[in-house]
Amino acid sequence: MNRAWRARNHPAYWAFLVHRLSGLALAVFLPAHFLVLGQALRGEAGLEGALRWTDSPLVKVAEIAIVVLLAAHLTGGVRMLALEFLPWRDWQKSLAALAAGATVLFGLAFALALVGGG
């Protein structure tokens, strides 16, 4: 088996990939988010239209996805900081799993708050 392909099966590679892709998705999301927020500057009608649009189920699912991506990026960043500044230990291999677990936890908490109306 090619050595480069074996490295892609390592949890650290997947943590790296999720961190980079979530950062890219957040970079794409932010201008769209600011565009919607800018509708408030156009007056009540523009904001009302934007708020009606956000009530659609597809937008609700996208909101949950963006919170999961934000959690993934945050926990991946904290993992990267730990790798950079702490001395290497065997337990650091578990940081990727911990980051993934925290991502799912934050995403589920947001989804439950969204569905529950909170």
| Domain assignments of the chain as residue spans, ordered by start | 3-25+56-115
pLDDT at 93: 65
Best CA proximity match to 66, nearest among 100, 33, 115: 33
Is pLDDT at 118 greater than 70 in this prediction?
no
Q: 107 falls in which pLDDT band (50, 70, 90)?
A: confident
Backbone angles phi, psi at 55, to 5 degrees: -80, -10
pLDDT tens-digit readout, 51-104: 888 888 998 898 888 888 888 898 888 888 887 787 767 676 677 778 788 888
Stronger pLDDT, 3 or 34, i.e. the higher one: 34
pLDDT at 33: 82
3-state secondary structure at position 78: helix
Q: Which residues make Cβ contacts (< 8 Å) with residue 82, sequence separation at least 6?
A: 92, 95
pLDDT at 37: 79
pLDDT at 24: 92
Give the percent of the chain with pLDDT over 90.
5
CA–CA separation, 44 vs 28, rounded Å?
26
